[in-house]
Structure 1
């Protein structure tokens, strides 16, 4: 077995050649060695035996021989329009090597010809008889940039209830919010949480960041009444009863201190959708559905099959009958045929949801938004869900994604998400990643990538081990960025990377060079290399989405009042005495308010009189956003609950059942839920939007 302690020379070299790290840096001045056990486990997940010193030596010799003898790596990148950004591997081929390139567009080209953008297939034949095939990604050197400067609203869609939604926000609400914000407030975008399909259960995991599938959206977000066939359901009495139940469910969530019950919403919607499905599609709609099925192909069939099998056998495919655990087995084929009606039902749901997502983006664009809907791509998927079942060959068995120990969490983190295998991705030309991007960009004006550093490396934790026993595994970031640039440019979409926290040197610079916007949160922007004071607006980066908070952080009102400290104290989450934490939070807030005052962004009176506590708080939140607008940031994001003084974070990291993560409707300062209609009529929100509209230079009324 691998000896305890750090890796020896052979294991270290073997790890390096497979992109597995043997150390990490929790801070710039400190390097920690990964354990030999963690390194060997990561290699094993990549199909490399390093369980003993002899096995590691044999694997090292085999890897060195493979790299020495191969003509081409599995994936090549060529950035168009930039001299010197061609694939170096082609220049290094032996003299006399012939090349043939089959383009994505179906043409055959010589290597010297100018290639169109796309993912092409290269075949190399060397004079010594060696041959090789590789994928060649030809992509624009930079992603599309935002058209001018704009501000937008950030919202967790489930939390945005209207008088028409059935117990949680839906895609009809999203379209309505975008139309109102664009036309009345001159907003340029609306950013939402991941709308990926969830793993159903009892109860369903409410986190949008641990989905069953990132490729397909969740039909729980459907506005049932907006489906054309809904109007033709014959059993009107049953429809009336369903709508009455929806009214009661919505009313129950709008009570103070009530929570969103996703399972109750889905139970009601599923019953309604079963009724709607009995209505035959018209010829045009049937043709559109057929086109969708053909376009999505095997990926949709796999997803819908998992959904049908989950109804019969539970939502964790690891516990299914053994012959159903393989999506390509004869047993799965038989089960799919037997469950074809349910498979078609779930395929139909995916089509309906895709159509309403497209309609929401269309509503945003028609309202004058230059970006529209910003969708969120979660960093991974649930190990028991549809993607992990259908794409097993691409996932590293026995591994989970997380984060190493750092200054914020000495024990590290395990997110419970299986990582993609970089070797299998590269061998396929990153096909599953490419298909995922293409599907999301179909209805997105922009895409936010959660933990964008995962395009470069991920912290792999062996299952059953603490996060401290993990190590980093590297991905082909150039190829993944090239595919991102390719698909984003085809869609004309912007990309925002969530690059908060510890980021390895050079990553932010690479992302900026390729046109990926970063994420800057006001409270974290300080002069960390100098006096630690709040960073003046002129020193902020331009290529970013600048915000006051996120879904994982306290609302601005909670931070200004210190209520976030009290909440963490009640839940036993403080790492220092309460008074010490209160004092630190108050000092942090005071420094920012002092800067806002010096910059004349914070006004001390309202209408000539001393403000009330509520007016003072609203003025401070306005000042925070005036500050964001005074930075060069290309995009300014406003957390929608900040517009009505909501105190509660949507997610409180470090909690599970102690806090209702991902289940809170937007509420006012007293915790009373606020509907979309009330938000649109709120003087406080309108005043904040007026500040943003005027400063951003966007028209509105």
Structure 2
């Protein structure tokens, strides 16, 4: 039921929800505002650990929200911008003296002075508590420091994170133009692949596009870890862990120990590779499970080879640097090989990797845990090689990784990070113009309060891992760092509401870790958002994203000079057909066949025709496409080149060229709102004739050369 504004308990429920950053009304893509149902609000509050089932519980929770901060000596975490002093509240008994100091990342101590007088005491649990304000000095360097306080016989400390006001790597790109390929790595194979594109293919793709065509970067799909053994989830945006990587992408032959296999073991591995190589020419369907099964068998053989002293030292150093996070991830992998996701063993011990069940198996499965740690070390090494190949080929940025919004409910992160995830909730997106029924991404959200209580450690560690050997990171749905669409498990995508996060902390930490890595950050800022969000991201040095088909002003295509400078601009995205397919209206036909349209197909086709006609008219106005009636009419390839030339007229510092467009592919990689209704994420890279396109062929591919020329010579 919807809330009645005259109902006192309903008003209190609204107040409680708002106090926790939960939206009580939602403005849709059509501009209409709608109230959030009471049932949704109560479910969201329950996931936040706040009782709201009865009027008495609501009143008690409101009181608790006002008193809880005063029970703490210090806030759970403090995130500030470098160069700015920040006031920190310290709660003590009236008249007591508090000492506050900082232990900086380099070990130095800084005393913090009190500012002004104490506030009037409030009674908390029958005890008067007043608040004093201490000012964190503006001179602190960037980094992760610790803030300490002592008063009333108590001591407390919390993370103090000093973040850059603006990401310097973005500032360095001002006035420059870089273009790069955007590719789904698993679909981009070579003659040496095992049926799936891998890290060695990534190095070759970067080398060819950088050295021969002058690309500045390669943007790839998320390379996050999936299940530790087949069958594996095909979507790279529904991983098991966002911190660790998918061994599916390993090139077995590039592991140094491969050279020291016994003749018998080498024969087995070579036989596995030989059986997989024909799959590189399969044009219709990617078989991850077959490739991963073969690779795991081969990698287990290579793992038996004794490592040299130097290699062993590097491996142990990697394990020590990755710490408990890697150990827990590897334990989950080993346990998952024993127990299926729905096995009762996972629910026996609710404390995840900290419980006795985990401790018992950690010892029993030590050898298997070591194997999964070793796989992550190999991923780290081969990613380092790919990034080095990119920069050696002249790329100014190199490999740009993609960060998915969340993880599987039954994956590693959901188990190891359960303390900072919200139970009973999934994230998604409300209905919009292109997904008119909304989306459910089947991923548990961060719990904003518990994430802050943890000092954002899991978030930081995830970013550090991805950025370790990267020139940049693309954050899918970066608006989720401001607010996420929470949907109670079992409800429809439209039955959710937005839950807000501390974006100053999340964006600040993102900028800090990127700056330390020397990397750029691209935010996918498409969809429904508040107007100030893009301004805020630009202020912090986060690149935005512009997709040509979505950029309109007063219902006409946005003029090139109206595009943003700090932006990655491209013609399309992986959630749309390649441009050749889009021009043919494949996106309408596919959604109509799957029942995903929210209006009659005739209306959808008419709207699509009008939008495309307006875009083609804009191309003609700028001399990028021959006038109507000219013979012969422009080919599909010429129209694709004209669309990319249009993006080159913008001031955007980054231009993305979809590899599918560069080779003439037409099939959609992913149709949002579907799972098995369409072969999402399982479409190999192919040309207009339907034949597979290998990396081996790209250096001499005439379509790629023509498209790059169109961008680089645009008027």
Whether TM-score is above 0.5 comes out as: yes
| Structure 2 residue 651 is matched with structure 1 residue 651 | no
CA contact (8 A) 2:439 2:673 kept: no
Give the alignment partner of residue 632 of structure 1, picking from 637, 651, 659: 651
The answer to whether the 8 Å contact 1:151/1:187 transfers is yes
Question: 1:92 and 1:618, CA in 2 relative to 1: closer, same or farther beyond 3 A?
Answer: farther
Contact preservation (8 Å) 1:526, 1:534: yes
In the alignment, what sits opposite 1:265? 291
Superposed, which structure 2 residues align to 1:652-671 within 5 Å? 652-671=671-690
Q: Distance in 2 between matches of 1:443 and 1:628?
A: 29
Give 2:141's match in structure 1, choosing from 101, 116, 124.
Answer: 116
Of 205, 214, 218 in structure 1, the residue corresponding to residue 246 of structure 2 is 218
Whole-angstrom distance in 2 between the partners of 1:3 and 1:317 = 39
CA distance in 2 between partners of 1:547 and 1:347 (Å): 37
- Taking the aligned partners of 2:368 and 2:413, their CA distance within structure 1 comes to 18
The one of 561, 565, 572 aligned to 1:542? 565
Counterpart in the other structure of 1:139: 163
Gaps of 5+ in 2: 113-136
**Hey, what does 2:68 align to over in structure 1?**
66
| SS of residue matched to 2:675 | coil
Quickly say closer, same or farther: Cα 1:78–1:568, change in 2 above 3 A: closer
Matched, 1:584 2:596: no
SS in 1 for 2:422: coil
Are 2:358 and 1:332 aligned? yes
Deviations 1:557-608 (A, max 9, x none): 1122333333444444444554544443233222211111110122579xxx
Q: TM-score, normalised to structure 1's length? A: 0.92
TM-score normalised by structure 2 residue count: 0.90
Q: Tell me what 1:87 maps to.
A: 86
Partner Cα distance (1:361, 1:389) in 2 = 31
1:57 aligns with 2:59: yes
CA 35–331 in structure 1, closer or farther in 2 if over 3 Å, else same: same
**2:273 is matched with which residue?**
246
Q: SS at 2:244's partner residue?
A: strand
1:675 matched to which residue of 2? Answer: 694
Report the Cα distance in structure 2 between the residues aligned to 1:599 and 1:570, rounded to whole angstroms.
36
Shift in CA distance, 318/539, structure 1 to aligned 2, threshold 3 Å: farther
Runs of 5+ unmatched residues, structure 1: 697-701
User: Is 1:255 paired with 2:282?
Assistant: yes
Say if 1:506 and 1:318 are closer, same or farther in 2 by CA, change over 3 A.
farther
- Aligned equivalents of 1:57, 1:623: Cα separation in 2: 61
| Residue 11 (structure 2) aligns with | 9
* Structure 1 CA distance for aligned equivalents of residues 438 and 612 of structure 2: 28
Deviations 1:455-510 (Å, cap 9, x if unpaired)?
11112222222233322211111111111111111111100001111112321111
Deviations 1:252-308 (A, max 9, x none): 35234x311000000000110011011111111111001001001110010000000
Residue 397 of structure 2: aligned partner: 371
How far is the alpha carbon of 1:92 from its aligned partner?
Answer: 11
User: What does residue 126 of structure 2 align with?
Assistant: none
Structure 2 Cα separation of the partners of residues 174 and 410 of structure 1: 35
- In the TM superposition, 1:513-524 aligns within 5 A as 513-524=539-550
Distance (whole Å) between structure 2 residues aligned to residue 159 and residue 5 of structure 1: 52
Please give the residue correspondences for 1:180-191 in structure 2 after superposition, counting only pairs within 5 Å: 180-191=208-219
Aligned in 2, Cα 1:595/1:511: closer, same or farther, shift over 3 Å? same
Q: Give the SS at the match of 2:490.
A: coil
Question: Aligned partners of 2:344, 2:185: CA distance in 1, in Å?
Answer: 31
Contact 1:644 1:668 in 2 (8 A): yes
**Within 5 Å, which residues of 2 pair with 1:427-442?**
427-442=453-468
Alpha-carbon spacing, 1:321–1:45, altered in 2? closer, same or farther (3 Å): closer
- Measured after TM superposition, the shift of residue 15 of structure 1 is 1.9
1:693 offset after TM fit, Å?
A: 4.1
Match status 1:390 vs 2:413: no
Aligned match of 1:227: 255
Distance 2:24 2:293 in 1: 48
Q: Count how many residue pairs are aligned between Structure 1 and Structure 2.
A: 681
CA shift digits 1:519-565 (9 cap, x unpaired): 100011111xx3x1111101111111001111111111112233333
- Mapped partners of 1:467, 1:642: distance in 2: 32
3-state DSSP of counterpart to 2:442: strand
Name the residue aligned to 1:177. 205
Deviation at 1:241, TM superposition (A): 4.7
Which of 403-412 and 325-334 deviates more? 403-412
Task: Map 1:415-494 to 2 at 5 A.
Answer: 415-494=441-520
Q: State the 1:321 CA deviation.
A: 6.3
Q: Deviations over 1:80-130 (max 9, x none)?
A: 24xxx432436999997532111122221123472121122212356x778
Going from structure 1 to structure 2, the CA distance change for 1:68 and 1:24 (only over 3 Å counts) comes to farther
- Quote the Cα distance in structure 2 between the aligned partners of 1:454 and 1:577: 31
Question: Counterparts of 1:272-283 in structure 2 under 5 Å?
Answer: 272-283=298-309
Matched residue of 2:672: which SS? coil
Q: CA separation in 1, counterparts of 2:453 and 2:637?
A: 54
Residue 68 of structure 1: how far off its partner (Å): 5.0
CA contact (8 A) 2:522 2:544 kept: yes
Deviations 1:361-398 (A, max 9, x none): 11101111111000000000101011110111111111
Higher mean C-alpha displacement, 545-554 vs 595-604? 595-604
When structure 1 is superposed on structure 2, of 129-138 and 220-229 the one drifting more is: 129-138
Looking at structure 2, the residues matched to 441 and 458 of structure 1 have their Cα atoms a distance apart, in angstroms, of 24
1:167 is aligned to 195
SS where residue 270 of structure 1 aligns? helix
